[in-house]
Structure 1
Amino acid sequence: MKNDMLQYVLKKAAEIILTLLIVTLLSFLLMRLSPIDPATAYVKRNTPIVTEEQIQAARVQMGLDQPLPVQYGKWVKNALHLDFGISLGSGYPVWEEISEALPITLTIVFLAAVIMGLGIIAFGCLNFFLRDHVAGYLLICLYIAGISIPPFYLASLYIDVFALKLDWMTVAGNTGFSRYFPPALCLSVLGIALYSQLLSKGMEREMNEDYAFYARCRGLSESRILLFHALPHAIAAVIPSFLQMLGLFMAGAVIVESVFSLPGIGHLIINSVIERDSPMIHAEVLILALSFVIFNVLSDILQRCLQGDKEEQEGGCV
């Protein structure tokens, strides 16, 4: 069993490496296919009078005169040592700027995960108890709205209502918890609306399982079966998808944090695209792809473990 799990983990590690290679290679290809030359954009941004000689010198300095496989091979070799080059926009090392911005994005994602987890349990249980009432259908309408409205629009609406109309917060300059809560809340709405229904359906399904029937025969109350057996099993079934959502949060956070003027990865991405900062763009693509595939692989591994332990958990009903 341990050997099977080890082989499975090694297989997933190989998939991560292959995925990152493909994604970063596509990043290089798309930058070269773009009609805007990074060397030309760099010279125009730093020199009032642009000449062809200056552009060619910048291209040599940036290594763009070499064949694409050579450029990519050197970048991969340096990336293994966390050396992503120098930012063409700021002149500072790329990893230095990313290391300053990444904790902000990770904090938003972590807080969004906490809010989403608590919200899923609360609204999932509420939906379960109201499933045969009119209020349950109203909840479903709210869920549909939560799934349909994109997080960046919720962020704009949040600022419009709570900052401009109610004056409960400032648009910029917040510190501490108040700095990260609004973007985390806007990110978590989609996950709460989506997984609350799944949790409610899972609880309903678990209450009809054989172990629940045997528990009733042993005299256990419905509330005890629901709270100590059906709910944990339903939560365990949702956790793998929950982890996959965290990978999407990394991509969503880069947009939402820009709406709230937070200097995270989103701020770097927008500036690097505008400035055609290719070293920064390649590093950002790698960071986002890495976070996405890691959460997906963790989801797959956890789902495999939960499936292996399900029968043992059901047999432990007391």
Structure 2
Amino acid sequence: MNKLLKRSIEFILFILLLSFISFVFVKLAPGDAVREILRSDDVAVTSSQMEKQREALGLNDPVLVQYGKWLSHLVRLDLGTSYMTNRPVTEELLDKLPATLLLTCTSLLVLIVIAIPLGTLSALYPHRVIDRFSRLLAVLGTSVPSFWLGLLLIEGFSVRTHLFPSMGTGSIAHLILPSLTLGLTMAAVYVRLIRSSLLESLGQDFVRGARSRGIGGSSVLLRHAFRHALTPVVTMFGVSIGSLLGGTVVIEVLFAYPGMGKFIVDAIQSRDYPVIQGYMVLMGLIVTIMHILVDLLNDVLNPEIRLKGER
């Protein structure tokens, strides 16, 4: 109960701090939201009209007053209204969220399919061909930027061979290239992490003791060593969720994928402050929830962590 209460307080403080910092920086960023709004109407406007629009939107108020008004609406789960579409920000974000979550899940599937088998084989057969291959993959994966890898995949599998579409959505084929771009980039890191964690687990006393009692190699690997090795991997996975969601911004723009990433880039270009602020809060909420779930999962995988937390 104490841990849950502590997590709840930390969660509230984090959201407040994140929302305040992002709100201030958005307001300090160059550009004029009113000018962008009136420009979208494609008609000539006067300075008095712009001033009336600023007054109507409350943009003439001090930043702290604007933040206080926005926070009072947030408490009622109201993220405001988009300047450009005149729709509630919550509806706009929820409309785009499924596409981004789908891309995130398919990217994680690519990561799991590559990282777990390759990292496990690399740990079981160190300094062999499979281990050298995993090291090469790790170097390439951490060295090549995701957007450049995406451009290579577009050139190889879309422009030259026409195997997969390079932009848009509508079918599973549209997910192949962006999922590979994100999944391959992250898999390189996890291959090395799984290898090092599993090598460490295989050298632990409880693994040697299980083998001395005659327990089969596959049982030792799956029930003891691999479970112990998953603790740092799961912790890293929780940290990577934020990177993955942030990485979809670049990839969604590159592949013209209609998710939250492309939507927020368009909002930044048009100075749509409520959308930008709502996106920051939603991402902070998702990342924080993922960290809490990772902590709970680590308690299940490694009871020693839970016992230390209770002391």
- TM-score with structure 2 setting the length: 0.90
Segments of structure 1 that go 5 or more residues without pairing to the other structure are: 1-5, 313-318
Matched, 1:50 2:45: yes
Partner of 1:206: 201
Q: Residue 147 of structure 2 contacts residue 254 of structure 2 at CA under 8 Å; is this kept in 1? A: yes
Aligned counterparts, 1:1-318, within 5 A: 6-46=1-41, 48-309=43-304
Which whole-Å CA distance do the structure 2 matches of 1:221 and 1:214 have between them? 12
Which whole-Å CA distance do the structure 1 matches of 2:305 and 2:44 have between them? 69
Partner of 1:316: none
Which whole-Å CA distance do the structure 2 matches of 1:170 and 1:301 have between them? 39
Deviation at 1:120, TM superposition (A): 1.9
Q: What is the percent sequence identity of the aligned residues?
A: 29
Which whole-Å CA distance do the structure 2 matches of 1:249 and 1:42 have between them? 31
Which whole-Å CA distance do the structure 2 matches of 1:211 and 1:162 have between them? 48
Which whole-Å CA distance do the structure 1 matches of 2:241 and 2:143 have between them? 18
Deviation at 1:222, TM superposition (A): 3.2
1:144-199 residue CA offsets vs partner (Å, 9 max, x unmatched): 11122222222222111100011101223552322323222211223311121121
Deviation at 1:130, TM superposition (A): 3.4
Which whole-Å CA distance do the structure 2 matches of 1:192 and 1:185 have between them? 10
Greater CA drift, 294-303 or 102-111? 294-303
Deviation at 1:282, TM superposition (A): 0.9
Segments of structure 2 that go 5 or more residues without pairing to the other structure are: none
Deviation at 1:263, TM superposition (A): 0.9
- In structure 2, give the amino acid aligned to 1:138: F
Q: Residue 164 of structure 2 contacts residue 176 of structure 2 at CA under 8 Å; is this kept in 1? A: no
1:16-65 residue CA offsets vs partner (Å, 9 max, x unmatched): 22122122212221222223222233223335323221111110111112
Which whole-Å CA distance do the structure 2 matches of 1:98 and 1:12 have between them? 26
Which whole-Å CA distance do the structure 2 matches of 1:124 and 1:63 have between them? 55
Q: Secondary structure at the match of 2:122?
A: helix
> Taking structure 1 as reference, are residues 174 and 26 closer, same or farther at Cα in structure 2, changes over 3 Å only?
closer
Which whole-Å CA distance do the structure 2 matches of 1:288 and 1:308 have between them? 30
Q: Residue 183 of structure 1 contacts residue 260 of structure 1 at CA under 8 Å; is this kept in 2? A: yes
Q: Residue 113 of structure 1 contacts residue 246 of structure 1 at CA under 8 Å; is this kept in 2? A: no
Q: Secondary structure at the match of 1:91?
A: coil
Which whole-Å CA distance do the structure 2 matches of 1:261 and 1:311 have between them? 44
> Taking structure 1 as reference, are residues 268 and 204 closer, same or farther at Cα in structure 2, changes over 3 Å only?
same
Deviation at 1:305, TM superposition (A): 5.0
Q: Residue 100 of structure 2 contacts residue 259 of structure 2 at CA under 8 Å; is this kept in 1? A: yes
Deviation at 1:203, TM superposition (A): 1.7
- In structure 1, give the amino acid aligned to 2:104: V
- In structure 2, give the amino acid aligned to 1:66: D
- In structure 2, give the amino acid aligned to 1:241: M
Q: Secondary structure at the match of 2:44?
A: coil
- TM-score with structure 1 setting the length: 0.88
